[in-house]
Structure 1
């Protein structure tokens, strides 16, 4: 036991939580994304007849890097589903996902994020293992397996934000949350990159068998290593516990009623809600439908399709981590205050993706340029995570999970609306013109969301999020430079010195 205690001093407990959340988000998105590539091999396609609009022939012709046969395999899929049905299967997860966002935050406050997050992942792993049986049994059986996978995974982000409201010191918040959230991008990279090769080597069912088993292994580690708050952690050092609790300025055990009405009246909550929807529209368009574009328009085979589709989430990961680090440096050195730092990254995370998305449509069949533009669009979109997507726990640290759940209800809508719309727009119409219209829709939504967030974003604790006797948020979170510049500088210096001791 003494050895375990000492190891917690070598590796701070909040960093262990960071690693486990990173791996948890990675596994969650592997389970979510694996079907995006696998479904290309699951569906039977007709034999090419030389017509450019034939489903088995891409608009830009077939292409391979050289080692793999450039001709796409035909007639090897098991299921006769059209583009509309394909879109329905890809969107099924998000139909379920939207239901548990607000309840997920509430469950985290009542039962703790450890149980809520862990059990949701356990159920997701079991349903993933069931996916091949469901697909071979009935179309609607598969639909409801994916639906309930989304339903139970709907709690993971509210639980994540709720737990970090108790664990993340203010000056480390952008870095820690950006790092854990990029597990989603790494998971998508792994799912897209490996699904094609697993399908090519072992068959599409093994995509679900392998990823389901890996998620079960993670669940065991999560239940052994993670605890709901510093106060409940049996191995955390006393120095780290005091540092976290004092810097956050909130006792996790205080019970304050959830201010539902104030949520509805708050302009900053509505701005986060709209921004979340608009940024996720671009993310989910790429996540669920990029392999379809790579197949039908650019003509990559199944293995290369998965690998190249993975470039977009890979760039999101790089940009999000870099953005989180940059914003913490900017804040700690008083180059910009928190609000303007987040506005800067939000501008880059909403407007630049729109520009690159449109350019990707105009480059046509220049495959290298198209892949690069789509990757840059996705990457810059990742800057919105340290830009505004973590502000929930800044404006209301006690209710971060619930608040994120509310905004993610609307942020999840693109997950099922976008695939349905894209399926309808491309059904018997896999053309560059159809996809150009899809890109224009995404660009306009990106820009609208960016404007709304820039106008109404706040980063100080809202009055309705504080206990009646709580100290001013300017003191606790060191956010308002204009009201207390000297006090902010002194407290930041103290916080940095304390962090160096841990």
Structure 2
């Protein structure tokens, strides 16, 4: 077998002069070094060629093998432009006189990327799958309700069960991410929610088992934000953090768009079960691929951190319990900045979850759009959020790199994220006689601009304490999950009582957006804090 490897060690382009009919042999039977003046260029192109040819022959009389061992030619272009040929060692044997030539390709394409970029890319992809598995039930619930005879209350119970697991797993996810590392917790979370998603078609006929499977999906997805926050805090420097957070959490918007676009045709052509099988399989495929991207070591930082990794494979449960007690819980809740993050997260989640759940119905009933139009219009906000997210992250990182105070940058971004949807909801609530598509455009723009929060609130956890970023997000996200449990059904109750979308859907969101802005501007801070000192 012969293997040919060619590697250029100069990025310039070279011109090889034409030498007419001169014939030059690069092989010599004596195998002595020879200098061949093939190039006379100022620039140097280095080629390394290795070739081995082995031929096996049998002698009929003695019936013995005689192997003609081949040549190894190493050629290098010297400084004066000459090609040096030297003999080398034997490279091996190739049976039956076969000759093959292979090239060393730079595969996979991401092989030479910095490790932090690989982790951020795969984490964002996990978040795409995360929201695909979150929205699939919102579409599949319609044929499932018809098949199993569920009323609206039962359907609401099934959908809300996701948030039970989501809320319960926030703090444990943050603590586990600090102990074991965000990448480990993330991969386990993806595997759990993917397997639970694939079980839904088998458990749909038995309500307790179905609810339990959706709780598992919520638990798996609930640990993911804290895991991603820990991973970003430990691997991404400050001047890249806004873009990293926006890229990772922006995967949620892309996942919503992808899920809402894929689910209807899949259900129509292959049945509602297909979305759970396919989307669950994507998560398992991600888990398998992530094993090739992550490093074997539990900790791999691209920037020095001020704390040592606390994870050890030999830790006992008692030691893990002690590490949980070592978390400065009291210091967290004595910080005004932490309380500002908690309330702001609650306010943002109220607007997000209530709009995510009720806007399709609002478009259909209040604006008199048919179901197909309402479904396509519902894709607008997350689709526009993808564009806004990229703009917001570049804007924030640009200001920070120019020396603008980080706290000021976070306050600017979060203010845009809250006042924009509040203003658009006020315009939609007032009776200006606007046509439906203008109202849709206004709401889509306002909700899309709320993605500035990814460069505001969602970066602050890492800013004030990279060490405890995952736990801090677990705290704020636990409170942020409450609107999914309380706000969504409360909106329905207010709608039944008042028959007014302005009062039931928009008024509470406007209130929380405005008060959240005031609290954020008054108390939020991105200054690093050492919580351990005060506890």
Q: What TM-score, normalized by structure 2, do the two folds share?
A: 0.72
Q: What is the CA-CA distance between 1:24 and the residue it aligns to?
A: 0.5
Deviation by residue 1:378-412 (Cα, 9 ceiling, x = unmatched): 11111112112220111011011011101111011
8 A contact 1:31–1:211 mirrored in 2: yes
Deviation by residue 1:262-311 (Cα, 9 ceiling, x = unmatched): 01111111100000010011111122333333344445455443332111
Q: What is the CA-CA distance between 1:8 and the residue it aligns to?
A: 6.7
**2:272 paired residue among 204, 207, 216:** 204
Deviation by residue 1:182-227 (Cα, 9 ceiling, x = unmatched): 0011111111222223233333222222211111111111222124
What CA distance in whole angstroms lies between the structure 1 residues aligned with 2:424 and 2:261? 22
116-125 vs 434-443, which deviates more? 434-443
Deviation by residue 1:29-49 (Cα, 9 ceiling, x = unmatched): 111121122223433xxxxxx
Deviation by residue 1:152-173 (Cα, 9 ceiling, x = unmatched): 3211111111121210111111
Which residue does 1:250 correspond to in 2?
306
Q: What is the CA-CA distance between 1:140 and the residue it aligns to?
A: 4.1
Q: Does 1:169 align with 2:237?
A: yes
Unaligned runs of at least 5 residues, structure 1: 44-76, 234-240, 469-502
Equivalent positions of 1:298-377 (< 5 A) are: 298-334=367-403, 336-362=404-430, 366-377=435-446
What CA distance in whole angstroms lies between the structure 1 residues aligned with 2:391 and 2:184? 31
Q: 1:7 to 1:313 in 2, by over 3 A?
A: closer
Deviation by residue 1:425-450 (Cα, 9 ceiling, x = unmatched): 345x795x245431111111111111
Secondary structure of 1:290's counterpart equals: helix
Q: Does 1:442 align with 2:509?
A: yes
Q: 1:352 to 1:9 in 2, by over 3 A?
A: same
Q: 1:403 to 1:119 in 2, by over 3 A?
A: same
Q: 1:453 to 1:389 in 2, by over 3 A?
A: same
Q: 1:133 to 1:102 in 2, by over 3 A?
A: same
124-133 vs 319-328, which deviates more? 124-133
Number of residue pairs matched by the alignment: 418
Q: Does 1:28 align with 2:124?
A: no
Q: Does 1:218 align with 2:286?
A: yes
Equivalent positions of 1:69-468 (< 5 A) are: 77-135=146-204, 137-227=205-295, 232-233=299-300, 244-246=302-304, 249-253=305-309, 257-334=326-403, 336-362=404-430, 366-426=435-495, 431=499, 433-434=500-501, 436-464=503-531
Which residue does 1:37 correspond to in 2?
139
Q: By percentage of residues, which structure has more strand? A: 2
Deviation by residue 1:60-101 (Cα, 9 ceiling, x = unmatched): xxxxxxxxxxxxxxxxx3244343333332221111111111
Secondary structure of 2:467's counterpart equals: helix
What CA distance in whole angstroms lies between the structure 2 residues aligned with 1:138 and 1:96? 19
Q: 1:218 to 1:259 in 2, by over 3 A?
A: same
Q: By percentage of residues, which structure has more helix? A: 1
Q: 1:436 to 1:367 in 2, by over 3 A?
A: farther
Q: 1:228 to 1:300 in 2, by over 3 A?
A: farther
What CA distance in whole angstroms lies between the structure 1 residues aligned with 2:533 and 2:241? 19
Q: 1:289 to 1:143 in 2, by over 3 A?
A: farther
What CA distance in whole angstroms lies between the structure 1 residues aligned with 2:424 and 2:153? 27
What CA distance in whole angstroms lies between the structure 1 residues aligned with 2:137 and 2:495? 19
